[in-house]
Amino acid sequence: MWSADEIAELCYLHYRTGLPKQGKPDPNREWTTLAAVVKVEFATQRVVLASPGNLQVRKEVVAMGTGTKCIGQNKMRKTGDILNDSHAEIVAKRSFQRYLLHQMWLAASHQQCSIFIPGTETGKWKVKPNTIFVFFSSHTPCGDASIIPISEPENQLSKPVTGDIVAGQSAECRSNCDRLGPEEKRKSEKMESNHVIKRMKTNNDGSFFVITEDLAVQQVSVKREGSTNPNSCECSSEMQTANEETGLGRPKVVDVYRTGAKCVPGELGDAQIPGLGYHCVGLLRVKPGRGDRTCSMSCSDKLARWNVLGCQGALLMHFLQYPVYLSAIIVGQCPYSQEAMRRAIIERCQHISFLPDGFFAQEVKLLQSNLRFEHSRQAIQEVQTNSKMKLVPCSAAISWSAVPEQPLDVTSDGFRQGTTKKGIGSPQSRSKICKVELFHTFRKLVTSISQEDLPDTLRMKTLETYWDYKEAALNYQEAWKMLRSQALLGWVKNAKEYLHFT
């Protein structure tokens, strides 16, 4: 079969040997994050997810991305030619969509090497039953999944937790986080050793559990209408004392890893109590910008969305009978919590109902590898222990897709690396995975298929803009509407003006 370590090693090997030096960090002073999609093909039609076993499989990296950056709202463009979000997970997912578009072209051209086979409806396709996709990320996704308790062994309780430990927060988001002011920094570094957590979960009734101080867990209710301060957590009178968790040989929880991702505007905010109570969990968040706020949702939120809607996006859903789901998500060696990952990616959306046929809230397999990425922040820090040079996130993002033409793409600040101010707006400045480029690839696919072989949603339709084609994917849009209204209410959507390009 396959294991988390095997998938991680395959991705690291592809990074080392399959990608050139261009876009990779300078290991003397830079770090980055890696993500990838691995195709797993089984020798038989039987698909088994359990790691042990003798079932023969073929594993292949089909998409890869690196990156830690995100552009601010003021840099967004209405022409669709800039990458708004260059976090590794998003670059890998968009690279995967490029791979899927190529595979769909192979299928429509009646080439047997495609991963797709005909569905039961005209113009619709589905993934071969012996093929699954596994997502890998070298670091825990930014946002809710990165709010992880920091434990301290019983025999080290007198040892204070240092700022360096807290600095091991979500690497991607910290790279963009605004610098804390002196007072805020002082508060965040002030930690008590008498904290413990009993549980950290979300409920389906609109309430959350927030890690708090003073040996307790408070239930946090979503305060909506009539709230005098709608941007903060309201603590209910119910408080669950966690004293019984101490003294039983369990390590005490002394703090939480912070995420740089900010709570979405107009919704609940973090309590920002120093120590365990700093964050509320289960909330939607946007990635931070350097002074200029972004409109990009956190990677945790996007993974939760993909777990219901699939990774293919609205455009490809025109051609698909079922969404393309991830069967497993694997995280490399880094601060990790299985409970936080489940909460962020699965539990927030598992109560969704009234989804169109084919859409489900997946019980995706969540695993961690023991192997660490060579260019991760932690790895570079260890190597450069005695160096006085400040470590910084790599400014470049690498996109790689298993496609025959121009598989590699290196960008910086949302455009192809090396683009000058004068060159911005030219076709040469665009990443192959920006909206307009993926849209053009999609339209080429549509025009290559005869009208009678097109799916109903595309046949004899007058569709022009990117927005038109996305909205015409009716089942996808209905699923997204159900998901947003029931679980992801505060999701920050791009204004229509940013989607009306051709």
Q: Nearest Cα to 308, choosing from 267, 344, 359?
A: 359
CA 30, CA 433: separation in Å to the nearest integer? Answer: 24
Element (H, E) at 427: none
- CA dihedral over 222, 228, 232, 238, signed as positive or negative: negative
Lookup result for tokens 């080439």 = 111
Q: Contact at 8 Å (CB) between 356 and 480?
A: no
Q: Is 245 a catalytic residue?
A: no
Number of C-alpha atoms within 13 angstroms, CB side, residue 208?
A: 27
User: Phi and psi dihedrals of 186, rounded to 5?
Assistant: -60, -45
- How many Å separate Cα 473 from the centre of its chain? 23
Q: Contact at 8 Å (CB) between 353 and 361?
A: no
Strand partners, 137: 35, 331
CA 235, CA 216: separation in Å to the nearest integer? Answer: 12
Element (H, E) at 112: none
- How many Å separate Cα 337 from the centre of its chain? 16
Q: Which residue is catalytic, options 6, 9, 60, 89?
A: 89
Q: Contact at 8 Å (CB) between 341 and 368?
A: no
Structure tokens given for 160: 């204070």
Q: Contact at 8 Å (CB) between 219 and 238?
A: yes
Residues acting as catalytic residues: 89
